[in-house]
Amino acid sequence: MHFDLIIRNGRCVFPWGEAQADIGIRDQRIASLSVSASDEADRVIDATGLHVLPGLIDSHVHLRDPGKPEAETLETGTRAAALGGITAVFDMPNTNPTITDRKMLDWKRQHIVETANIDVAMYIGATRENTPLLAEFEQEEGVCGVKVFAGSSTGDLMIEDDEGIEAVLRSGHRRVSFHSEDEYRLRERRKLFEPGQPYHCHAEWRDAECAIRGTQRILALSRRTGRPINILHVSTEEEFILLGENRRHATVEVLVNHLTNEGPECYERLGGKAVMNPPLRNERRHFEAGWAALRDGRVDVVSSDHAPHPREAKELPWLECPSGLTGVQTIVPLMLGHVNAGRLSLTRLVDVMAAGPARVYGLPNKGRLAVGFDGDITLVDMKKQRTITNDWIASPAGWTPYDGKTVTGWPVGTIVRGQVVMQDDELVTSNVGRPISFQP
391 catalytic? Reply is no
List Cβ<8 Å contacts ≥24 apart for 167-171.
167/128, 167/131, 168/126, 168/131, 168/134, 169/221, 169/222, 169/225, 169/227, 169/229, 170/225, 170/227, 171/131, 171/132, 171/133, 171/134, 171/135
Burial label, 16 (beta-carbon count in 10 A; 0-12, 13-18, 19+) = exposed
The alpha carbons of the chain give a radius of gyration, in whole angstroms, of 21
402 and 334 Cβ atoms separated by less than 8 Å: yes
Helices (H), ranges, 116-255:
134-137, 162-169, 183-190, 201-205, 208-225, 237-244
Residues 101, 134: Cα–Cα separation, whole Å: 9
Beta strands in 92-160 (DSSP E): 119-125, 143-149
The alpha carbon of residue 323 and the mean position of all alpha carbons in its chain are separated, in whole angstroms, by 17
DSSP annotation of 380: E
| Bond before 278 cis per omega within 30 degrees | yes
* Whole-number Cα distances in Å, 310 to 119, 199, 328, 353: 25, 18, 16, 27
Strand locations in 366-418 (E): 377-387, 406-416
d(Cα 147, Cα 138) in Å, to the nearest integer?
10
CA atoms of 119 and 121, how far apart (whole Å)? 7
* Beta-carbon count within 10 A of 209 CB: 14
The one catalytic residue among 4, 65, 305, 351:
305
What's the number of CA atoms in the CB half-sphere (13 Å) around residue 331?
34
**Of 15, 27, 118, 30, nearest in space to 74 by CA:** 118
Are residues 308 and 237 in contact, defined by beta-carbon separation less than 8 angstroms?
Answer: no
CB 258 within 8 A of CB 290: yes
Overall residue count recorded for the chain in this entry: 440
Which three-class secondary structure state does DSSP give residue 265? Answer: helix
- Which residues belong to the active site? 305
